[in-house]
Chains A and B, each alone.
Chain A
């Protein structure tokens, strides 16, 4: 039993490393991204093996799914927007290459040695978490950590997401609606069928988060998939008039999270110190709103540019409205 599992682990590890190398070395960028997606899924599998199903879910949904989609979308953009052949990158001298290789080798050795020398399975936060679970308001330890013990980190994580969407809108501000990838007719039908199912899965994931693997991020990612499909299938086309709502949706989770964190201080508590009796409710509320925000934000990140009214003259030519 043990042996087979070790063999499995070894094979999986080799596969993960090989895929990583392959995604770095494949010339074709599309193939590289596909390899990367496979790599991500196998990594998630490995994490399941390491008893981290929440992380595995998040990695599969966000780290691999959404990231892969973003990469493909960008690749599509890069490949469809015509430009002259990019100037050949100048070759880096052999000496520099050798130095790079040598340093990286040395570094890897050092990291590996340090890892080998470090204690594993040593005392972590296990006992602390176990002690505090009872008053955390949730049953699932990871969720407790995310939304209670280290809620500040999580808040800031959502802030990062918010910053990202603002930055992306800012970067692509005024870009005309360049041709975005769209699904074919068949796939559109498929999308219509699957959408309700995905919504259900996402909501479920959010709900179980409090007691079992799952939670806001995973749920948000799955719901974001809905958004992706809507966008791809052109079932939903962002319009300038939707901007206000979108902005609200982006900040909803962060705002609620932060507001709750501050408002609980009204009872003479620390920020983020949820009153025990309302802890579960508050956490669920926050999770729910954050899930919505995450879903909308991820979808917006996929879509990229801020929906703007296109000036007629510039339609379709990639002009800028604020130039």
Chain B
């Protein structure tokens, strides 16, 4: 029962939850949220893979990759949210 196993399974679970959310959710914001969960799940898997049982230091490369992933994800999220906002405004115009 090492942390990597625990958190690896956790990561996969989070990814799966996110995936379910992404394909099932109808609310636009929740779909973004779900995708973000997927991203965190993928991050878990990479970090777990980088983990070495102490005292060995972990592999830094996956860490760098996850950081990149986080930044990429926030960018994508921002664009998606901007789309949601704009679309909402336009649909509101329609209603008015």
Contact = CB atoms under 8 A, between A and B. Distances in A.
| A–B proximity contact (CB within 8 A) | yes
Interface of A: 5-6, 9-10, 13, 16-17, 20-21, 23-24, 29, 32-33, 36, 39-40, 43, 46-47, 49-52, 54-55, 58-59, 62-63, 66-67, 70-71, 73-75, 77-78, 81-84, 86, 89, 92, 97, 100, 104, 107-108, 111-112, 115-116, 120-121, 124-126, 129, 141-142, 144-146, 149-150, 153-154, 157-158, 160-161, 163-165, 167-168, 171-172, 175, 178, 217, 294, 298, 301-302, 304, 318
A47 B48 CA distance: 9
Interface residues of B, number: 80
A178 B86 CA distance: 11
A213 B46 CA distance: 18
Ranked 6 nearest A-B pairs via Cβ? A164-B75, A141-B60, A83-B92, A124-B59, A145-B64, A301-B78
Contact of B59 (A9, A23, A116, A129): A129
A304 B7 contact: no
A294 B12 CA distance: 30
Nearest to A119: B49
Given A20-B37, A82-B92, A124-B61, 9 more contacts: A33-B33, A54-B63, A59-B40, A83-B88, A100-B20, A111-B16, A168-B78, A217-B71, A301-B78
17 contacts: A5-B3, A9-B6, A17-B13, A24-B17, A24-B25, A29-B27, A46-B44, A50-B3, A51-B58, A59-B43, A66-B74, A71-B33, A81-B92, A83-B96, A116-B5, A120-B48, A121-B51
A52 B50 contact: yes
Nearest to A79: B88
Contact of B47 (A55, A153, A165): A55
Contact of A145 (B63, B79, B95): B63
B61 A149 contact: yes
Contact of A164 (B9, B48, B79): B79
A144 B60 contact: yes
Contacts of A171: 79, 82-83, 86
Given A10-B6, A121-B4, A178 B89 contact: yes
Interface string B63-91: 11111101111111111011111101101
Contacts of A62: 70-71, 74
Interface string B35-56: 0110110011101111111101
B76 A24 contact: no
B55 to A, nearest CB: 10
Contacts of B43: 43, 47, 55, 59, 63
Given A52-B66, A178-B89, A168 B79 contact: yes
Interface of B: 1, 3-10, 12-21, 23-27, 29-30, 32-34, 36-37, 39-40, 43-45, 47-54, 56-68, 70-79, 81-86, 88-89, 91-93, 95-96
Nearest to B10: A13
A34 to B, nearest CB: 11
Contact of A78 (B8, B45, B88): B88
A115 to B, nearest CB: 5
A124 B62 contact: yes
B26 to A, nearest CB: 4
Given A81-B92, A142-B64, A160-B75, A29 B81 contact: no
Contacts of A304: 82, 85
